[in-house]
């Protein structure tokens, strides 16, 4: 799915736009026991409660593609004959109305999910979307539909204890102590099937994880029986390992600055283009950056081999997962220096009298903890 398709579905999670008739789910305690079930008609729920359910489900389609939102791909064999795909199709085809199928799905989540000592809420909803036709100008015609997209969306939300606080009770016209449990934003969730090319793709699902460095592989294993792509944090670490192992001493400050600047430029140009497709960087593109910086071909070949080992042959990477384009930070054992990425070139390395130093020009005013100071001898 691309950004436009995700955004198109997110817009459905409003009271006047969705076709969700019921909300299903269950409340699970930290001992993995189901405390209670949810089976609520959206038509009779108070509007504020219905909107809260919709907002929780909508958040399972939030975040950045390739970071929070991850493509789950089923093999042809799984789609043809597998318990995991059959269960997901049964959830959709039954419109979530079959209690036994819902229970089987809940148990898959409960038996695999690790949220520590947290209680949590599993939510499920089924929706049908009359996909509007798009004209030659990429404008939607609400009166013409190309197809109907039927899908299931799920989210898992931690349920947290609220601190005892004073609350106003209108009936008594007084303030009293009150406490309780509140539902937090989803920790994970998914959409099935995927909405690719504005149509159902039963070979894919879209998985959501609130934390980009913790994508709950245990749930992906249980529900989808497939290996998810590396998390953003894992991609960054693997890329850094490939550079440092292959380049050795050639992996210096100047080279890392150049790589950071080139990738940051790509990210900025991508943002300005408003392209809905995911930004990609091939290993050959990364190798070209090294070549432009004078790295020896032997080391470039070693880098390509390391990337093949880390990511697989023919892998494409998301530059936004490899660097933090919003900052440039240099750390030593005793100090951390943060520089505006646009001015990363100001940081230099020097060896003076046999010691390594980081140098930054100090032509402008200098402050120490907000106090203006002068350079000795100035």
Q: What is the DSSP letter of 271?
A: H
Q: Which range, of 36-45, 140-149, 233-242, averages the lowest pLDDT?
A: 140-149
User: Residue 176: is its pLDDT beyond 90?
Assistant: no
For 247-272, what is the mean pLDDT?
A: 90
Distance of alpha carbon 197 from alpha carbon 304, whole angstroms? 33
pLDDT digits (tens, 9 = 90+) for 305-347: 999 888 888 888 889 889 888 888 888 888 888 888 888 888 8
Return the exposure string of 63-94: e unless at least 16 CB atoms fall within 10 Å of the residue's CB, then b. Answer: bebbbbbbbbebeeebeeebebbeebebbbee
Confidence of residue 286 (pLDDT cuts 50, 70, 90): very high
Q: Tell me which residue of 28, 52, 58, 31 sits closest to 40, measured CA to CA.
A: 52
What is the helix (H) or strand (E) element at residue 208, kind and residue range? Answer: strand 204-209
Q: What pLDDT is attached to residue 141?
A: 66
The reply to whether omega before 49 is within 30° of 0 (cis) is no
Stretch 263-271: mean pLDDT: 90
* Dihedral of the alpha carbons of 165, 170, 172, 176, in degrees to the nearest 10: 0
| Burial annotation 164-196 (CB, 10 A radius, 16+ → b, else e) | eeeeeeeeeeeeeeeeeeebeebbbbbbbbbbe
* C-alpha distances out from residue 111 to 32, 106, 162, 369, Å: 8, 9, 26, 51
Look at residue 24 and tell me whether its pLDDT is greater than 80. yes
**Per mean pLDDT, which range of 37-51, 248-262, 272-286, 295-309 is the poorest?**
272-286
pLDDT of 196-224, one tens digit each?
999 999 999 999 999 988 889 999 999 99
Give the per-residue pLDDT at 371. Answer: 84
Q: Dihedrals φ, ψ of 354, to 5°?
A: 85, 0
| pLDDT tens profile 106-143 | 999 999 998 988 999 999 999 999 998 877 666 666 66
Angle between helices 99-112 and 83-93 (to 10 degrees): 130
CA 47 to chain centre: 29
- Helices H / strands E in the chain, number of each: 11, 18
The pLDDT, as a whole number, for residue 137 is 67
**Whole-model pTM?**
0.81
User: φ, ψ for residue 43 (rounded to 5)?
Assistant: -70, -25
Most confident of 61-70, 91-100, 354-363: 91-100
The share of the chain scoring above pLDDT 90, in percent, equals: 55
Q: How far apart are CA 154 and CA 24, in angstroms?
A: 10
Q: How confident is the model at residue 47 (pLDDT cuts 50, 70, 90)?
A: very high
Q: Enter the tokens of residue 85.
A: 């795909």
Residue 26 host element (H or E): strand 22-28
The string of DSSP letters for 50-108 reads HHHHHHHHHHTT-S-BTTTEEEEE--HHHHHS-HHHHHHHHHHHTTT--HHHHHHHHHH
């Amino acid at each position: 799915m691309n950004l436009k398709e995700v955004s198109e579905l997110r817009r459905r999670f409003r009271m006047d736009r969705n076709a969700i008739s019921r909300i299903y789910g269950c409340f699970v305690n930290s001992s993995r026991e189901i405390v209670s079930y949810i089976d609520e008609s959206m038509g009779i729920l108070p509007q504020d409660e219905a909107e809260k359910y919709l907002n929780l489900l909508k958040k399972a389609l939030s975040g950045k593609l390739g970071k929070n939102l991850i493509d789950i791909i089923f093999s042809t064999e799984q789609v043809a004959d597998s318990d995991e795909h059959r269960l997901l199709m049964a959830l959709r085809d039954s419109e979530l109305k079959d209690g036994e199928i819902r229970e089987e799905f809940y148990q898959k989540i409960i038996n695999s999910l690790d949220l520590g000592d947290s209680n949590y809420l599993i939510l499920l909803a089924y929706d049908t979307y009359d996909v509007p036709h798009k004209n030659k100008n990429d404008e939607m015609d609400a009166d013409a539909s190309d197809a109907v997209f039927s899908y299931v969306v799920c989210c898992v939300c931690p349920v947290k204890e609220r601190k005892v606080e004073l609350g106003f009770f209108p009936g008594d016209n007084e303030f009293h102590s009150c406490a309780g449990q509140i539902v937090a934003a989803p920790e994970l969730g998914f959409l099935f099937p995927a909405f690719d090319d504005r149509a159902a793709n039963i070979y894919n699902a879209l998985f959501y994880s609130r934390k980009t460095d913790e994508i709950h592989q245990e749930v992906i294993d249980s529900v989808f029986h497939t290996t998810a792509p590396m998390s953003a944090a894992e991609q960054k670490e693997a890329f850094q390992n490939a550079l440092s192992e292959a380049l050795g001493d050639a992996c210096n400050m100047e080279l890392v600055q150049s790589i950071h600047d080139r990738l940051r430029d790509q990210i900025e140009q991508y943002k300005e283009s408003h392209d809905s497709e995911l930004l990609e960087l091939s290993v050959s593109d990364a190798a070209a950056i090294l070549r432009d910086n004078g790295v020896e071909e032997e080391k470039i070949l070693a880098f390509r081999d390391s990337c093949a080992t880390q990511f697989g042959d023919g892998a494409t990477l998301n530059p936004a997962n490899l660097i933090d384009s919003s900052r440039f930070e240099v750390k030593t054992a005793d100090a951390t220096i943060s520089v505006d990425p646009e001015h990363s070139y100001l940081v230099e390395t020097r060896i003076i009298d046999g010691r390594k130093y980081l140098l930054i020009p100090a032509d402008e005013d200098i402050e120490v903890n907000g106090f203006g100071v002068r350079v000795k001898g100035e």
